[in-house]
Structures are given as C-alpha cells and as structure tokens.
A and B are shown apart, each in its own frame.
Chain A
Amino acid sequence: MTTLFTILFDGVAYGMLLFVLACGLAVTLGLMNFVNLAHGAFAMTGGYICAVLVNNQGWPFFSALPLAFVVSALIGVALERTLYRHLYTRSHLDQVLFTIGLTFMSVAAVDYIMGSSRIFIKLPAALEGQFDFFGVGIGRYRLMIIVICGLLTVALQLILAKTRFGSRLRAAVDDPRAASGLGINVPQVFAFTFAFGCGLAGLGGALSAEILGLDPYFPLKFMIYFLIVVTVGGSSSITGPFLASLLLGIGDVAGKYYVPKMGPFVIYTIMIVILIWRPNGLFGRAAAR
C-alpha cells in the first residue's frame, strides 16, 4: 500500500515538472496560436544557466533558479522582438519550419559551447535523499518540485482569470483588431506573454536537470512530451494541460512500475484513448480560428 503512495507521489512530481515545462507552449500555442517547437530550447537554456551558475560560479541553487527564469525570459523577448514577431501571421507550416530550425541551431550551439556530455546541477544537501512519511518514501527534491509547481499553477490561473493583464491577453487573442481599437497594446501583450512562457520553460529546465538529465539534445528528446501534454490537455486554458500533465506523469510512473515490459507505451496509449474520445483534448474547444 505504501508503495502505491510512493508511486503516486513520484507520478505527481513528474507530472508537475512536465506541466511547468510545457505550459509555456500551451500559452503560445493555445492563446497566441503560434506553433513554437523551439520551446524545449528555452528549457535547455534555463537548465544550462542554472548549471553554470551553481557549478562554476558557486551560486546557491535557490538563487540560481529565479535567474534561470529571468534570463530565459529575456532571451525569449529578444527573439520574439527580432524573429518570432514576423511569423505570427504566417502559416503554421512556416512557423514549424522556422522553430524547428531554431531548435537545431540551439542544439548545435550548446554542444559547441558546453560539450555534449550530460551535466548535473550540484544540489544543496537538504534536497538530497528521501524521508519516510508514515512509511511512504518521499523524495525531498520531488517534494520541492511539487511545492514550486503547485504555487506557480495557482498563480498562473489567478493572473489569467482575475487580473487586468489576464483579460487584456484574452481580449488580444480573441480579436486582436478590436483589442487594439480599445487601446490595448497587442504586440506588447504578446511579447510579455511569450517571454513569460519562455521563462517558465527555463525554470522547468533548471528543475528537471536532476530528474530528466540535461544535455544538448534536451529540446529534441522532450519535444514529444510537451506536445503530448498540450494535445491531450487542449490548449485553450491552463487547467487542461495541468490535468493532462498529472495524468501522464502518474500514468507513466505507474505503468513503468507495475508493467515494466509495457511501461514506455502507457502514456502513448493514454494519449490515443483520450484523443479518440475527445479529439480537441480534455478541455479543448473547437479551433477558434
């Protein structure tokens, strides 16, 4: 019985991690209707920034995390202003080609600068190991992931639903022309949203180095997971991808534990079943465009 809880706990932690990594993609894809396959590259950037700061510069892990967010967001906004902006009105195929090219460039660049071997971030001792909670093994690091990601999710949901910025963003997405007619600075709203998504990816990348491993091929290896989260969750809200991430995380961990021979296929099976049942994802609505 206690094993069941340990599995559940690991699954939730893994799902939360997937969510932070993928929710930026849900935002750009769902809200801004832009296919950004280079999303993983921002995650990798965040991971490497955190690794360099902690391992080489001796920063404490917890101060490097926010910086991973900020730098990834800054790179995101720079690229948005110079490159992405021109592709908003182009077809999805153009966007895919452009962003996949960007992904390959980032892989090659990181390989050149940092080397191809997998790197780890030195963690504070307080985050290592497991402790026992009524017989259930709780990994400290995974607990921290759940806490950070849980808070982020609540904050995101509040920002989108309750704040002025959230309503501006939703207005800008629904009808950019009417929104700018009402005095909303649409490009600025988009740039900010995009940067925020990239920052979240960067934070996710820094958090995931310990569990998923960090190497220059990160953006390619995990692209499929991000896309699964967004397709299964539907891309019209934050709740959809969040529940999808949890479902996939728990499904993946439990599948690998209970049926190790079939383990890797479990999440794909879940995805196929859900998409047959609801082709637009769990919380999807018919395409608005």
Chain B
Amino acid sequence: MEHIDFRDQISKNKRNSVFLMIFVAITIVILGYVISFAFDPSYFFLIMIVAIIFSISYTWVNFYNSDKIAISAVRAKPADKIKYRDFYRLVESLTVASSLPMPRLFIMESGSINAFASGRDPKHAVVCVTTGALEKLDRRELEGVLAHEMGHIANYDIRFITLVAVMVGMIAIVSQIFLRSLWFGGGGNDNKGSGIFILIGIALAILAPIVVTLVQLAISRKREFTADATAIKFTRNPNGLIGALEKIKKDSAPEKKVSKALAPLFFSSPFKGLSSTHPPLEKRIEVLKSM
C-alpha cells in the first residue's frame, strides 16, 4: 500500500462526505416530489406541514441536546478530576495539539475498551471512555483513542453524525406517513393522484429509508477513517492508535448494551457481529500502518 499523507486523507474523506450528504438531500427532494404527484395536493399539504413542524422540532431538540442524550443513554458519570488525573492530563495535552477547547469528560462503567464523543460543536463537546479502556490501555494507546475522539470533535463529526441521523429519521417518518395514508385513503374513489405515481411512491417510500440507512453507514465508516487520520495529525504517533485497535481485536470482555442509534459515535463498534457503522479493525490498522 502506498504512503498516504494524513492531510490528503482528511480532505479526501471530507469531500466524500459532502457527496454522500448531497445524495441524502436529493433523495429527500425526489421522495417529496413523487409523493406530491401521487397524492391529492389538498390532502398532502396538511400532512407535510405537520411532518415538517414535527421533524424540525425533533431535529432541534435532538441536535441541541445531543451531548446530554448520549451521556444519559449510556449512563455515563462525570469523570472525577482527582481520581482520573491521567485522563484529564492526556486530553489537556491534546487540546494543545488541536487548539480545541477542553471538552467535558465522562466515564462509563464497562469492561470493554471503547470511547465516544458527542455534542453539537467543540464548545459543547463531551468525551467519554469506558473503565475498561482506562484499565487495559497504556498511556500511548489511551492517548491514541482520545486523539481519535478529539478528531471527531475537530472535524465536526459530532454535529455531522447527529444531523445525518436526524435526516435519516426524517425520511423514515415521511415514508411512513405516506404509506399509512395510502392504507387509510386507498379505498376511496376521490383519490386524484395518478396511478403510476402512487406505485413509484410506494416503491420509493419502501426503498428510500433502506438506501439512506446504507448511506448513513457509509458516511459513518468514512468518518472513522478521517478521525483516525486526524488523531495522527495530533499525536504524530500511529503506534498508540494501532496498539489500541489491536487490543480491542483481542479483547473478549462482554460488550455493553447500547442503542444502535448511538453506535456511530463510538471508537469501535459496540456490536461485534454487526460492525457496519465502523470499518473492520484490520482495515483501520492497515491504513494507519501506511501513514
């Protein structure tokens, strides 16, 4: 494998993520367009207005509280400044490397090695590690993991991943509303929409949520590579991160149960069998070794 400069890696991943985001946006527009043709317009507006108001407030609440939602969902506790001195020291050093403000630090009770970052922007960011990571990783490895999380913050992944998740949720909601309203209005003969558009609409309403979920997973995987590259930019030491990934590979501690929606935030996938939110560990190690 050829040598990859981490700076190129970051810009390449950023570009790909923009493409993926445009793709999701176009999907939303096409879906809305087809549905509006399939439906009686007078019926449609009422549904759309309700759906838009609902999805905007849903987005806003989720977005604004993303740090608190994530922290309470995994029942993490604020890290004690005295007890976890080394944890604080490592993150403080990384703020020097990254020019980021100091995030709030949290601890999550779990034997497995993992960590996540969340929040709507670097000023409101949180970083959380498992007790397993603190026990099993040495200083350089833990630094690598924390640098990866700081990378998510620096690249605005914490905001991006939240927004993409909300967009995917919105498409699912619109599709559901469309399918359900067909069910209830299907028997009536006053349906002014044309038949072919109803068929296309049904197909799209079923396919769109699946496709955007796949896109979401692809974005999430890309973001992991970017965060790895950014971590190296901060520490200039791929060995710490490689060591941590290799320990995770060998680690057999039971995974903590977390919601699937939170999976993209984590350092390594909390689901061993279904690791589609994250690239395979081997692949990440391979890319890191080529940097």
Q: Do A and B come from one complex?
A: no
Chain A residues in contact with chain B, CB under 8 A? none
Interface positions of B (Cβ within 8 A of A): none
